[in-house]
Chain A
Amino acid sequence: MSGSTIIFYLLAALTLVSGFLAVTSRMIFRSAIFLLFSLFGIAGLYLWLQYEFIFAVQIVVYVGGIAVLIIFSIFLTQKSGEELPSQNRSRRILSALAALAGMLLILTQIYQHNFVGSTEKPEEVSVARIGSQMLDVTDQGYALPFEVVSMLLLAAMIGCIVIAMRSSDKKQGST
């Protein structure tokens, strides 16, 4: 067993165990911290696959952005010391059965299918190549999705401000 294999199994175990604890823990703040570790594990898997740019994006956006946003919203809406109310047992068992059945179905499909890879020479994943292809307008380029995502981010930003804004003119008396 080489070092690379051991690192893969450690990262996979970190991702899956902390992901499972994130969806089962009754303390909501602990659940957010387990989610953070699970996102770290995924980022480690990207680094293991030698996609350094995706690793950096994952750390910056998920670990630095979304996880912190979720922790803030927990502090704004919950008493984080209290336990969440537990679900009734039949719902938990049925959910677990549904998830396990779906997982078995997909895994049997994956292990029966014979994936055929391309035989062309692999190229290096460099940040310069990602950048130039991202803003390319030819066949291989991703300039149009890039622009559409920038519009989406602008719309989401305006939408967040509008939704979360306290409407002071209507609720002056009530709040």
Chain B
Amino acid sequence: MHPGLNHLLFVSTSLFFIGVYGFFTRRNLVTILMSVELILNSVNLNFIAFNKYLWPHRLDGAFFTVFVIAIAAAEAAVAIAIIINLYRSHQSIDVEKAEELKY
């Protein structure tokens, strides 16, 4: 059976919930950021699959994917700046140890 829309949606749903599982279990900020990247990637795959199989005469899904990738890059850069700053002040990037909102 040739893979169609449902196969791609299965892949993206599985990847999304793999990311959610990592987001729940990890306690380290860098690994949490990696889980968030997996979640964003699964959403991009959804957009492209819907564009390919349901809306092939327009390019809206491809544009959404490009903009999501740009925003994800900005988000990752800001998150890593925050992580490095937190490491400087606390010598740890464990979320359980970052419990004070002090500069």
On chain A, the number of residues with a Cβ less than 8 Å from chain B's Cβ atoms is 84
Asked whether B15 lies within 8 Å of A16 as measured between CB atoms, the reply is yes
**Are A49 and B48 within 8 A (Cβ)?**
yes
Contact in complex: B48, A70 (CB < 8 Å): no
Question: How many B residues, CB 8 Å from partner?
Answer: 69
Q: A76-B87, A78-B30 are in contact. Are A118 and B59 (CB under 8 A)?
A: no
Main secondary structure of the interface of B (DSSP, over half): helix
- Which of A77, A98, A149 is in CB contact (< 8 Å) with B83? A77
The dominant DSSP class at the A interface is helix
User: Contacts A58-B69, A163-B81, A163-B85; is A15 near B15 (CB within 8 Å)?
Assistant: yes
Q: Which of A15, A121, A166 contacts B11 (CB 8 A)?
A: A15
Verify B45–A70 contact, CB threshold 8 A.
Answer: no
A39, B41: Cβ atoms closer than 8 Å: yes
Tell whether, in the assembled complex, residue B21 and residue A5 are in contact, meaning their CB atoms are under 8 Å apart: no
A142 to chain B, nearest CB (A): 5
Query: Which residues from chain A contact B75 at a C-beta distance below 8 Å?
Result: 156
Smallest beta-carbon distance A86→chain B, Å: 10
6 shortest interchain CB distances as A-B pairs: A23-B22, A122-B56, A95-B24, A156-B74, A99-B21, A164-B81
Given A12-B7, A57-B65, 11 extra CB contacts under 8 A: A23-B25, A45-B8, A57-B66, A61-B69, A84-B27, A96-B21, A99-B21, A107-B10, A118-B55, A149-B70, A159-B81
